[in-house]
Amino acid sequence: MRSKVKDVNSHVKSIADSDITNHDIFNYIDFWTYSKVPTIQFSTEYRTAVFRKYLTIYLKSYKRKISEFVNSKEYQEMDDAKVWRALLDLINQIVFDYEREMLDAGIPKIVVDKMKAKNNDTITLTIDLIEGICNSRFYDSEKNFLKVYSILL
């Protein structure tokens, strides 16, 4: 029977630092920012302009903050509780950043507030998913690479 069992580790992808710093999430954000958002059309020119600006700021804020987090490599030395807290802080920083930047860019406060209410369910789901990954032994790995990689996915 032993000869029939294949080495399980031969099919398991090993996650390295470069897998995280060069994660596909950054390419997806760029694709949406530069290809999809500029072609989105709404019912009026004003709505189109406002929401294109909104989405561009939203996506660029996510990319900037996630990139800073990943490139700092601080997560590599953290225990489970610190990773969980750092990721919650990251979500809070991203939301605070893009809302402030949107208001500074002239997007009406009512649009930012309405979208905040719409994004609430998504952020809650994201936090629940991050908590599940951070509290699961399945994602334990050297330097938290698997946790961070999985969260970026």
Q: Give 68-87 as a DSSP string.
A: HHHHH-GGGG--HHHHHHHH
What confidence tens digit (pLDDT) does each residue in 2-21 have? 555 455 454 556 888 899 99
In sequence order, the 6+-apart residues with CB closer than 8 A to the CB of 5 are none
For residue 139 the two structure tokens come to 């994602």
What confidence tens digit (pLDDT) does each residue in 92-130 have? 999 999 999 999 999 999 999 999 999 999 999 999 999
pLDDT of residue 8: 47
pLDDT of residue 6: 53
pTM for this predicted structure: 0.85
